[in-house]
Structure 1
Amino acid sequence: MPVATMPPHRRVPELSVRPGGLRRVFHRLLVLVAAVAVGAGALAAPAYAEPSVDEIEAAIDKQWEQLEPTIEQYNKVRAQRKVNIKKAADLQKKITPLALQSELAMNRVADLVSRYYITGPSQEIGALLVNGKPTELGEQMLMLDRLAAQERSEVADVLAVRKKYDDQKKKLDDLIEAQAKQEADLAAKKKQIDAEIKRLQASLPKTTVKVTNCPTINGVVSEAARVAIRTACAQVGDPYVWGATGPNSFDCSGLTQYAYKAAGVSLTHFTGAQWNEGRAIPRSEARPGDLVFFFSDLHHVGLYLGNGMMVHAPRAGKPVNVSSISHMPVAGFRRPS
């Protein structure tokens, strides 16, 4: 029986790996495995839904709560600046006649000085001494005393007028200096607010904002309130623009100022001032036409319509609208008069 012979052993060719080559191959395998694992994980990760319009609006409302106090502070400074400008104009009206009065007084003193310079008090005294009559000398000396007193009085008048003028001028100069600083502060705040509003508006949803009109109003407290409500409701749909007081755009205190101005009631374009310009009303006694304020720092205001509703200028991106007062913390009610 022939003996089976084993096939000749085949030698497996060796891999020719240069120093460090094996390490590079192994590293590439690790990278490939990791990539596959990451890809599988990504496929397994849950998908998150895009935020709804309501969620975006709520987020912007929250940001606006932080921004609106700065806007109302701007309104406050601007209102104060208007008052200061009026004060400066009033002071200037007082200073103009003071300057004329001072000039006339100085002219009278100049006349006295010229008279003494020409005649000379020493010549008058010499003439009196040569005369030698005591009674006449006494009378003449008394006349000279009176002239001296008159001169002192003239000088005193000039000094008093000049001091009054200088005091008034100093007040005016201080006022102008304060106004210059306020102007600089306003410019910086305006730049900051504009940038923040642009950022907020860029995130606003590209949808049409639903506008709710004013309902039928009953129980209006006064004719002025009736006019204010009618005026404010006529602005529903107008855009919000911070610092605006109408007639085509408004911020919150600008709308309430505009509405009551139509009724002959003057309000300052600043929520804090409007709070002090009305009579406090308990919530249980609030009537249509009252102003309703929000937040502890009073940075938002609306015109109350009754039944828990108001008309107000909400914020950038939302026009003048009617909404519930329950969406924000109510600080209190005030009744303009």
Structure 2
Amino acid sequence: MQRNRTTSRRWAGAVLATAAAIAVVLGPTSATAAPTTADEAADLVAQTGQELTQLDEQVHQAELTVTELQRVAADARAVAEAAEAEVARYEPQLIAIAHTGYTSGPTSGVAAFLTSDSAEDFVQQMTTLDMIAAHTDSLLVTVSAAREQAAAAQSQAQAAAAEAEAALATLEQQQAEVQARVDQYEADFTRLSAQERAAVTVSLAGPVLDVPTSLAPPPSEAAGAVVAAALAQVGDPYVWGASGPNGFDCSGLTQFAYAAAGVSLPHSSRAQAGMGVAVSRGELQPGDVVYFYSPVSHVGIYIGNGQMVHARTFGQPVAVTSVDMRGYAGARRIL
């Protein structure tokens, strides 16, 4: 039963950890004095845009948490079903033991002595009785353990399922709150002048560069597939929470591009920034994932020559820009 206790502790730990992680506090927007100048308004919009990228990442982390809770619940249900099947497997033997006890009555050492033809026969009968008793005891212990495991697994499954349902409800609420902030941000953004909108966009997402006509050679065929898939999406709209094929957010674009090389990435910039191996700015190669800010809330795909392609920010399409834009924090080589 040591394995059962270990499994229970592992499930309990997973449930507690993921339940804690889902408690993403978006909170109300901090109180800020109303802007009195156009520059202040532009700064406020830029600040809000940066906050939105962080909230976007929080929601993606919550989505991963919900998925993990659902996996824990499914695993627990599978173990419960296996344990219940194990109990059912022993049921015929339990019925046979009960039937024998009812029809034949208990067999004792005295009965064996009285029915034995010799001392040797007596010893043989006693040995047989001991074996039967040991088998019966072992079977009952096994069945009892299986029943305990089934009950524990069932309890774990119910707890994990309840946590998953609660986490999903919290996530849906958070998504609605972020969407409301996105709508407000886009409304504020459109009220800026063209020059102010351009300044805010460059501040948040770097300057737009032309798609290069020639690219640095990729280090591998897979890396080339990632770069080609990302560049093919240039001009597609930024869509919060989307991973293609017609709209993307930042980690959705990297996820989509890596899928072209047969690599599955989580839809989370923070999670992607923890994959593969770290590479320095001077070691960047086409196909590397570059990430921004602390905590990480934005990613792009390096394409060579100091450039990257990324799903930029709200209201702005996928574009090529300098990898050295504000907030650069590091890079990972996943392939």
TM-score, structure 2 length as denominator? 0.75
1:312 counterpart = 2:325: no
1:253 corresponds, among 251, 254, 258, to 251
| Bigger mean CA deviation after superposition, 76-85 or 296-305 | 76-85
1:104 counterpart = 2:89: yes
How is 1:67-146 mapped onto 2 (pairs within 5 angstroms)? 67-121=52-106, 128=112, 130-131=114-115, 135=119, 136-146=121-131
The Cα offsets for residues 15-34 of structure 1, whole Å up to 9 and x where unpaired, read as xxxxxxxxxxxxxxxxxxxx
| Cα offset, 1:149, TM superposition | 1.6
The Cα offsets for residues 9-56 of structure 1, whole Å up to 9 and x where unpaired, read as xxxxxxxxxxxxxxxxxxxxxxxxxxxxxxxxxxxxxxxx9848xx86
Aligned match of 1:203: 188
Q: Which amino acid aligns with 2:243?
A: T
1:193 counterpart = 2:191: no
1:165 counterpart = 2:150: yes
Q: Which amino acid aligns with 2:277?
A: R
| Cα offset, 1:256, TM superposition | 0.5
| Cα offset, 1:226, TM superposition | 1.3
1:333 to 1:91, Cα distance in 2 relative to 1, 3 A: same
1:142 to 1:202, Cα distance in 2 relative to 1, 3 A: same
| Bigger mean CA deviation after superposition, 281-290 or 161-170 | 161-170
1:57 to 1:245, Cα distance in 2 relative to 1, 3 A: farther
CA–CA separation in structure 1 for the residues paired with 2:287 and 2:110: 87
Aligned match of 2:300: 302
Q: Which amino acid aligns with 1:111?
A: A
Contact 1:211 1:237 in 2 (8 A): no
What SS does the aligned partner of 1:327 have?
coil
The Cα offsets for residues 140-173 of structure 1, whole Å up to 9 and x where unpaired, read as 3443332222211110121222233334334333
RMSD of the alignment, in Å? 2.8
1:154 counterpart = 2:152: no
1:233 to 1:262, Cα distance in 2 relative to 1, 3 A: same
Asked which structure has the greater CA Rg, the reply is: 1
1:115 to 1:132, Cα distance in 2 relative to 1, 3 A: closer
CA–CA separation in structure 2 for the residues paired with 1:203 and 1:155: 71
1:240 corresponds, among 238, 241, 245, to 238
CA–CA separation in structure 2 for the residues paired with 1:129 and 1:287: 87
Contact 1:211 1:236 in 2 (8 A): no
| Cα offset, 1:330, TM superposition | 0.6
Aligned match of 1:25: none
1:283 corresponds, among 281, 284, 300, to 281
What SS does the aligned partner of 1:235 have?
coil
Aligned match of 2:226: 228
Structure 1 gaps of 5+ residues are: 1-48
How is 1:313-332 mapped onto 2 (pairs within 5 angstroms)? 313-332=311-330
Contact 2:80 2:149 in 1 (8 A): no
Q: Which amino acid aligns with 1:257?
A: Q
Aligned match of 2:3: none
The Cα offsets for residues 298-333 of structure 1, whole Å up to 9 and x where unpaired, read as 111111223332211122211212222343221011
Contact 2:62 2:171 in 1 (8 A): yes
The Cα offsets for residues 172-211 of structure 1, whole Å up to 9 and x where unpaired, read as 3332233123212202211210110111111222779897
1:147 to 1:239, Cα distance in 2 relative to 1, 3 A: same
Contact 1:212 1:323 in 2 (8 A): yes
The Cα offsets for residues 44-79 of structure 1, whole Å up to 9 and x where unpaired, read as xxxxx9848xx8666433211112112111111212
Identity across matched positions, percent:
34
The structure 1 segments of at least 4 consecutive aligned residues displaced by more than 6 Å after TM superposition are 206-211
Contact 2:69 2:160 in 1 (8 A): yes
Aligned match of 1:214: 211
What SS does the aligned partner of 2:190 have?
coil
CA–CA separation in structure 1 for the residues paired with 2:73 and 2:60: 20
Contact 1:272 1:299 in 2 (8 A): yes
CA–CA separation in structure 2 for the residues paired with 1:110 and 1:201: 71
Structure 2 gaps of 5+ residues are: 1-35, 199-206
Contact 2:286 2:303 in 1 (8 A): yes
1:126 to 1:327, Cα distance in 2 relative to 1, 3 A: closer
1:246 to 1:324, Cα distance in 2 relative to 1, 3 A: same
CA–CA separation in structure 1 for the residues paired with 2:300 and 2:246: 17
CA–CA separation in structure 1 for the residues paired with 2:251 and 2:48: 19
